[in-house]
């Protein structure tokens, strides 16, 4: 009987191939194009993501190298490393050092919660008063991880430099989300780097609170931008909301000015909601997340008085209540809606003021009154001799943004791109607002007459409002420019790479074609990137090769003398900035310090500063001893200050507050009178009996003079 078998060397017949081959042969061109698009998108996403991470890491390396080259940080002594953390930076770092040296984690927390060395004759809760949870977290990490080969100070500064990578990646992603191309993110990151002088100061003010907070702020902006996309799937929406929540919480926990930044953000969301430019549901989500985060921070900070009495919380409550009461806000014709919007705005403003005033009156809160005094005087709502307000007003950092900032930003083409994008989108936003208020938002994009209705995506509208509000803040207060300039990089790069922006421009000049937009949105940013590389890469290379060295022998000598020649429980008085360094380098007790967000501390600081006023030695001794002072440090740079003009020197502020005529030629207010005593900081150096009875000189160098106070009154 014969059988059939498969021939050797030939392929067995597979009936399924017969079915599959025709299918493969007959794949439609659309399917092939779709498959190619998926592959291209995956490849583009991978390349864009790798570029973002690479640029973030390069930025971290860049600022770390600048810090090392500027100070020769790896070669200087420990006391010099600590002195390099100037002013309030040294105060914050001291708590990291303190927690590390605690005998146990529990003891570390107890020393912070019941601190009696930061302010003499007082026990304060550092976790309630200051935003130092990041120092606590880093201390816990260092104690837990097997990294003892790395000095604690390097673990600290490398963490901050690492956060710069997070910051740059977040800016990159935000620009990418807005424009739809990672080329925009690349340009945003490069602009951030080449404009380093105006976008960050992390390399020389490492522990400053804003250097912790701003990376999380950038992440929050990117997350909100993604959240406002209309086509999010449920899982994507939940994930994005989690990102918004975590970034908002970490930002709020890191900075004492969180409530003011959140208030500005909430105002932006409020205005966009009023003009129907954001989905109502998402507006409520943003309000709830912001309020929840700030309340969590309030609990973690043991019900911090500045947060409890913040305008932000009062505003959120008012906005939600008003929204509930005025359900017909977005109905009616143009003038009806305008009238309702005006009443809505009035209701929210009045209820915010009433709620906030009631809370402050019931709880007797005055922690942030110096901020409102500063704002009041800065914008011309009355002239005051208030010492605290003038102390801020006379500092350059709290003045108007200098014009040379725009000159530097223009050299990199950033400001030109930003101004052009802003101009176009503001016009578009005004048109959209008019359309929404007129009830024409429901009209199709192109009506029967061929007229085009302008639209603005929610993410674009949010970022436009964000940049306008924070731009106003930066223009009025130079210290806040870093909130604006970093977002300026995002906004400008988005404008150059955005299909929507170029479409508005080309349609306005009747040159619109899809092909032309594709060419322009890629060619313009590429040309700018090449320009930045050609012009600024040699400059960056020079910066990274320039070597300097930390040199402050007088301060080093002072700290070493204090540590060697004074008791561990000695109490020191002096300027806020110097005493932060005294606490960090020596661990001695202070009378005052630079964290100014407490009314009683502000009063105490003004009293301690009488050492630079025209007061009698007996009065000064009595004031200092009332705070338990054992030693007072006086600085020639303050006593004979020339950095500020007349009227803004510390001694002038004290003279005016005390009702005394200021030194030097110039006008004085009519009610100021001559002081019966000479200036204390100058006269004490003559060692007259009236002074030596109360003060004994114990240390002196070219910069500092230290006196020991007599115990008797």
pLDDT tens digits for range 230-245: 989 999 999 999 999 9
pLDDT confidence bin for 551, thresholds 50/70/90: very high
Task: Tell whether the model's pLDDT for residue 588 goes beyond 90.
Answer: yes
- Per the CB < 8 A criterion, the answer to whether 84 and 97 are in contact is no
Q: What is the 3-state secondary structure (H, E, C) of 599-617?
A: HHHHHHHHHHHHHHCCCCH
pLDDT confidence bin for 302, thresholds 50/70/90: very high
In a domain, 105, yes or no: no
pLDDT at 18: 43
- Per the CB < 8 A criterion, the answer to whether 283 and 322 are in contact is no
Residues 339 and 474 grouped into a single domain: yes
In a domain, 286, yes or no: yes
Domain boundary among 513, 544, 575: 544
Residues 527 and 675 grouped into a single domain: no
Nearest by Cα to 623 from 699, 543, 682, 694: 694
Residues 406 and 535 grouped into a single domain: yes
pLDDT at 181: 94
pLDDT at 445: 52
pLDDT at 2: 43
In a domain, 97, yes or no: no
pLDDT confidence bin for 22, thresholds 50/70/90: very low
Nearest by Cα to 706 from 594, 600, 531, 579: 579
Angle between helix axes 152-179 and 481-497 (nearest 10 degrees) is: 40
Residues 557 and 498 grouped into a single domain: no
Residues 536 and 572 grouped into a single domain: no
Lowest pLDDT segment from 45-59, 318-332, 656-670: 318-332
Nearest by Cα to 639 from 602, 685, 607: 685
3-class secondary structure, 372: helix
- Per the CB < 8 A criterion, the answer to whether 398 and 392 are in contact is yes
In a domain, 116, yes or no: no
pLDDT at 651: 93
In 303-365, which ranges are continuous DSSP H helix? 305-308, 311-325, 334-363
Q: How far apart are the first and last CA of the chain?
A: 130
Burial class (CB in 10 A: 0-12, 13-18, 19+), 437: buried
In 228-310, which ranges are continuous DSSP H helix? 234-254, 258-274, 280-300, 305-308
- What is the C-alpha separation between 218 and 50, in angstroms, rounded? 19
And the tokens for 285? 């989500």
Burial class (CB in 10 A: 0-12, 13-18, 19+), 234: exposed
Task: Tell whether the model's pLDDT for residue 14 goes beyond 60.
Answer: no
In a domain, 688, yes or no: yes
CA distances from 66 to 465, 483, 545 (A): 34, 22, 9
CA angle at 100 for the pair 98 and 101, rounded to the nearest 5°: 65
In a domain, 601, yes or no: yes
Edge-to-edge strand list for the sheet holding 631-635: 589-590, 571-573, 631-635, 704-709, 695-700
Q: Which backbone phi and psi does 697 adopt, to 5 degrees?
A: -70, 130
pLDDT at 410: 96
Percent of all residues in the chain with a pLDDT value above 70, rounded to a whole number: 93
Residues contacting 202, CB < 8 A, separation 6+: 63, 160, 161, 164, 208, 211
And the tokens for 360? 């402050």
- Per the CB < 8 A criterion, the answer to whether 168 and 59 are in contact is yes
The model carries a pTM of 0.91
What is the rounded average pLDDT of the residues 678-695?
93
Domain boundary among 517, 544, 571: 544
pLDDT confidence bin for 9, thresholds 50/70/90: very low
- Per the CB < 8 A criterion, the answer to whether 252 and 258 are in contact is yes
- Per the CB < 8 A criterion, the answer to whether 213 and 247 are in contact is no
Q: What is the pLDDT of residues 627-645, one digit of tens each?
A: 999 999 999 999 998 888 8
Nearest by Cα to 391 from 627, 605, 661, 130: 605
What is the rounded average pLDDT of the residues 290-318?
93
Q: What is the pLDDT of residues 363-375, one digit of tens each?
A: 888 777 777 777 7
Residues 389 and 489 grouped into a single domain: yes
In a domain, 597, yes or no: yes
In 498-513, which ranges are continuous DSSP H helix? 499-508
Residues 451 and 580 grouped into a single domain: no
pLDDT confidence bin for 318, thresholds 50/70/90: very high
What is the rounded average pLDDT of the residues 23-48?
75
Residues contacting 489, CB < 8 A, separation 6+: 171, 175, 188, 189, 191, 192, 195, 199, 414
Residues 429 and 576 grouped into a single domain: no
In a domain, 68, yes or no: no
Residues 472 and 592 grouped into a single domain: no
pLDDT at 442: 53
DSSP per position, 673-707: B--SS--HHHHGGG--HHHHTTEEEEEE-SSEEEE
Residue with tokens 């019931």: 362
Residue with tokens 């005394």: 660
pLDDT at 16: 44
Task: Tell whether the model's pLDDT for residue 21 goes beyond 90.
Answer: no
Residues 482 and 578 grouped into a single domain: no
The tally of domains found in the chain comes to 2
CA distances from 423 to 121, 406, 464, 487, 694 (A): 56, 16, 10, 16, 65
Domain boundary among 511, 544, 577: 544
Residues 641 and 687 grouped into a single domain: yes
CATH of the domain at 624: 3.40.50
Residues 563 and 536 grouped into a single domain: no
pLDDT at 358: 92
Range of the domain at 500: 159-544
């Amino acid at each position: 009987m014969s059988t059939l078998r498969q021939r050797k060397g030939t392929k067995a017949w597979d009936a399924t191939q017969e079915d599959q081959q025709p299918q493969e042969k007959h794949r439609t061109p659309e399917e092939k194009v779709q498959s190619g698009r998926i592959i291209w998108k995956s490849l583009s996403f991978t390349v864009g993501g790798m570029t973002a991470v690479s640029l973030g890491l390069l930025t971290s390396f860049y600022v770390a190298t600048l810090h090392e080259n500027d100070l020769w940080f790896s070669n200087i002594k420990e006391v010099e490393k600590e002195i390099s953390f100037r002013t309030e930076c040294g105060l914050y770092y001291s708590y990291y050092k303190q927690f590390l040296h605690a005998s146990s984690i529990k003891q570390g927390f107890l020393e912070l919660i019941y601190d009696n060395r930061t302010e003499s004759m007082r026990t304060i809760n550092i976790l309630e008063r200051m935003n130092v949870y990041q120092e606590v977290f880093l201390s816990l990490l260092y104690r837990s991880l097997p990294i003892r080969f790395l000095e604690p100070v390097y673990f600290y500064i490398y963490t901050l430099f690492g956060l710069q990578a997070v910051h740059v990646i977040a800016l990159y992603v935000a620009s990418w989300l807005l424009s739809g191309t990672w080329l925009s993110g690349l340009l945003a990151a490069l602009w951030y780097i080449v404009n380093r002088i105006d976008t960050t100061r992390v390399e020389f003010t490492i522990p400053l609170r804003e250097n912790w907070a701003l990376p999380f702020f950038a992440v929050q902006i990117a997350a909100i931008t993604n959240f406002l996309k209309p086509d999010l799937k449920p899982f994507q929406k939940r994930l994005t909301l989690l990102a918004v929540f975590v970034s908002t919480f970490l930002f709020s926990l890191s900075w004492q000015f969180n409530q003011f930044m959140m208030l500005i953000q909430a105002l932006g969301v409020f205005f966009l909601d009023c003009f129907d430019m954001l989905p109502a549901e998402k507006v409520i989500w943003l309000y709830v997340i912001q309020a929840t985060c700030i309340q969590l921070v309030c609990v973690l900070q043991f019900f911090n008085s500045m947060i409890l009495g913040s305008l932000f919380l009062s505003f959120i409550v008012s906005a939600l209540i008003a929204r509930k009461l005025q359900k017909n806000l977005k109905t009616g014709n143009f003038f009806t809606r305008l009238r309702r919007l005006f009443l809505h705005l009035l209701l929210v403003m009045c209820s915010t003021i009433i709620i906030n005033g009631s809370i402050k009156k019931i709880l007797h809160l005055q922690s942030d009154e110096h901020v409102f005094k500063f704002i009041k005087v800065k914008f011309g709502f009355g002239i005051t001799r208030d010492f605290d307000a003038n102390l801020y007003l006379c500092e350059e950092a709290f003045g108007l943004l200098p014009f040379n900032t725009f000159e530097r930003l223009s050299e990199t083409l950033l400001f030109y791109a930003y101004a052009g994008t802003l101009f176009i989108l503001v016009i578009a936003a005004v048109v959209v607002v008019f359309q929404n208020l007129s009830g024409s938002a429901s009209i199709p994009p192109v009506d029967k007459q061929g007229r085009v209705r302008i639209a603005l995506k929610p993410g674009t509208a949010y970022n436009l409002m964000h940049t306008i509000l924070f731009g106003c803040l930066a223009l009025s207060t130079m210290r806040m420019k870093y909130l604006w300039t970093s977002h300026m990089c995002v906004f400008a790069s988005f404008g150059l790479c955005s299909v929507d922006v170029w479409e508005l421009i080309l349609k306005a000049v009747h040159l619109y074609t899809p092909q032309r937009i594709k060419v322009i949105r890629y060619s313009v940013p590429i040309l700018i990137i090449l320009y930045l590389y050609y012009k600024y890469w040699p400059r960056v290379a020079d910066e990274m090769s320039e070597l300097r060295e930390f040199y402050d022998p007088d301060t080093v000598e002072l700290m070493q003398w204090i540590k060697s020649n004074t008791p561990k429980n000695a109490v020191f008085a002096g300027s806020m900035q110097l005493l932060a360094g005294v606490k960090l380098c020596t661990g001695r007790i202070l009378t005052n310090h630079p964290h100014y967000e407490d009314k009683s501390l502000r009063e105490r600081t003004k009293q301690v500063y009488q050492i630079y006023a025209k007061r009698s030695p007996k009065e000064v001794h009595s004031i200092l001893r009332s705070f338990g002072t054992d030693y007072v440090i006086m600085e020639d740079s303050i006593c004979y200050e020339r950095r500020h003009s007349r009227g803004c020197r510390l001694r002038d502020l004290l003279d005016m507050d005390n009702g005394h005529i200021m030194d030097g030629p110039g006008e004085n207010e009519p009610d100021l009178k001559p002081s019966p005593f000479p200036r204390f900081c100058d006269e004490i150096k003559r060692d007259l009996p009236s002074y030596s009875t109360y003060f004994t000189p114990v240390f002196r160098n070219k910069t500092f003079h230290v006196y020991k106070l007599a115990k008797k009154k």
